[in-house]
Structure 1
Amino acid sequence: MSERLTPGDTAPDFTLPDADGNQISLADRRGRKVIVYFYPAALTPGCTKQACDFTDNLDLLAGAGYDVIGVSPDQPEKLAKFRDKESLKVTLVADPDKKVLEAYGAFGEKKLYGKTVTGVIRSTVVVDEQGKVERALYNVKATGHVAKIIKDLGL
């Protein structure tokens, strides 16, 4: 089980391929706030709802200085299908070896339909301009989560 992050921690840096195979790095976002969210699988109902909610609110978030990066263990080709099918505007990156998911505490044991399984823990980490964790939310719900973040951030 990976350690969960808490406010004040330095956000683990990462460089991962996006849906088009371009390398996306957290370090390149210094000076902006970044919402990094972790989801189990592209093209599934809950993950689609969450990604669409982030896309629908991207102008508001970007206007307040936030970039949004979605991380899943999917391959870039699947992310491209997901983005195109749902007209997503958020940056989606692939973490098939789950190193970034583990570094952020977003991979480990969770309850799924009453059973304990190992997998992606739906999580959101808000990183400030200096690369420090501002908020770390674990076991979030796909529906209503983006609205809650916006409210919590006072946007």
Structure 2
Amino acid sequence: MNNFRIGFGYDVHQLQEGYEFWLGGIKLAHEKGAVGHSDADVLIHVICDAILGAADLRDIGFHFSDTDPQYKGIDSKILLKEVMKLLRNNGYELGNIDTTICLQQPKVNPHIPLMKQCLADVMEVKTSQISIKATTTEKLGFVGREEGVSAYCVALIQTKEN
């Protein structure tokens, strides 16, 4: 019998000129980038939080503190790979994730296939297990003013079959 568990993730990063913009493991060309201790990949961060939450393994900040110098500027794909190891070492496997990115500019939809492939490779899952959607906020709020990016993720995990 499978033991299913659900986790949820939410994250926000400020956008500023002079920073690279990493999203879903790929670098987007844009005049602004996300600000953070790591590479500030908001999509990977919410995926990590949703998976960790589903497995009752706390959150990304607990495992990879933003005050720890070893994570300064780190590629978030490395963090995601570690989260997947934690998941599997605790007897779980990923069922699927469903994500939503809230971003006014740049347009995300053209990049979704490459993001899905990148994330699937890092997570060692099928691309069909990863859903990425994008929306604007119709120019409302900090996202609409292009001051930041936010993302949401729901993850379904299940106990590994022996």
Shorter-chain TM-score above 0.5? no
Query: Which structure is higher in helix share?
Result: 2
Structure number with greater Rg is: 2
TM (norm. structure 1) is 0.32
TM (norm. structure 2) is 0.31
